[in-house]
Structure 1
């Protein structure tokens, strides 16, 4: 729609865009492939909960460096710069169940 100014010249153009009605807003953003190993899923859940690296390492019987290794790999896999972005992207991709605490990675994303 064209909006005219006081002197009759074109002042602004307004474009309205409507989404396709056939799309489901609840769709999963990625296919439910087995994209995480079991240990990576547990580490991602710990990171999302805010568990410190040392406590997470003790809980999973890994070293602190082992946890950092897995986190670094997930940062590369998800193409994000830090842990907060990793958790945010995991949520946006639908990896976590909605409305539950502590966060739990859905089984369809875990290789067993």
Structure 2
């Protein structure tokens, strides 16, 4: 992946302009989260395991990350209490814990996401 494509991915995660060249150690907690998530997208993986990936993100960043992952072609296994993020990913299956039931996802399950 070339520099231009990498900067495009970083921009999708809200790391544009000077932030693209800033030393990672000097980034805020939320910016480090965005950088780590961007690295996952370009890493060539086919499976991502994400545990509360939007916790340190502001609302605009949550939206951007949701859009970026909704376009990602691989499988995402996700733990989240953020119903808008879950909705953005357009999941097709849900595993209900601790019941261990695998079911097809529908919008009514977003209420459970908020309650958890």
Q: If the TM-score is normalised by the length of the shorter chain, which range does it land in?
A: under 0.3
More strand, by proportion: 2
Whose Rg is larger? 1
TM-score by length of 1: 0.21
